[in-house]
A and B are shown apart, each in its own frame.
Chain A
Amino acid sequence: GAVVSQHPSWVICKSGTSVKIECRSLDFQATTMFWYRQFPKQSLMLMATSNEGSKATYEQGVEKDKFLINHASLTLSTLTVTSAHPEDSSFYICSASQGARLGYTFGSGTRLTVV
């Protein structure tokens, strides 16, 4: 079946630094990739949608200058949290889609802790 690899699985960084999270579709080409954020005991909140070769579409309230998304190929999307602060600490999950008919495949998530 379709597999999405997300790295790192966890990261601790100092306040003010930037962190990059990678999301790769291993055995299929993803037309669209999605980035979600999940706070403890809450649902997944969609942050942005990205299509290969074009700018990401951010959801309302998500700072695009803070959460940089690059979708350079059909198998790789990256999320960079710039100038991270403790309030950015969260669980980030990516998802790759081949269209609604074929469904969505999720990465294993990245737990970010900013100290």
Chain B
Amino acid sequence: AQKVTQAQTEISVVEKEDVTLDCVYETRDTTYYLFWYKQPPSGELVFLIRRNSFDEQNEISGRYSWNFQKSTSSFNFTITASQVVDSAVYFCALDTGTASKLTFGTGTRLQVTL
């Protein structure tokens, strides 16, 4: 069975602070994909990143960066110099070869204030 844990329910930071959102996953499959999505108050899901299990390279995209560590089954997401527009719920998700569907974590609500 697949499972995604996002232990942080809510995080509040002041603008320009860095913030890391944690994601821990469980799967017995050796081939799998990890995702991060952003859900702003409007409700739509915005795709941020997809990472396959064979690629452990960290990735940086502007103020966003992701740290994938298979040894700890974690796929953490860091926002550098946070902005008010980053306020949203962020979901980590897992897709395995056997499941062929997304398993979502419970989400982390990020509030960035001035």
Interface on A for B, CB 8 Å cutoff?
32, 34, 41-44, 46, 49, 91, 93, 95, 97, 99-101, 103-109, 111
Interface on B for A, CB 8 Å cutoff?
33, 35, 37, 42-45, 47, 50, 52, 91, 95, 97, 100-102, 104-107, 109
CB distance from A58 to the nearest CB of B (A): 12
A108 lies within 8 A of B44 (CB): yes
Count CB-based A-B contacts (< 8 Å): 50
A43 lies within 8 A of B107 (CB): yes
From A46, A93, A101, A111, give the contact of B45 (CB < 8 A): A93
CB distance from B27 to the nearest CB of A (A): 12
List the A residue with the shortest CB-CB distance to B42.
A108
B43 lies within 8 A of A91 (CB): yes
Known: A100-B33, A100-B97, A109-B44. A42 touches B50 (CB 8 A): no
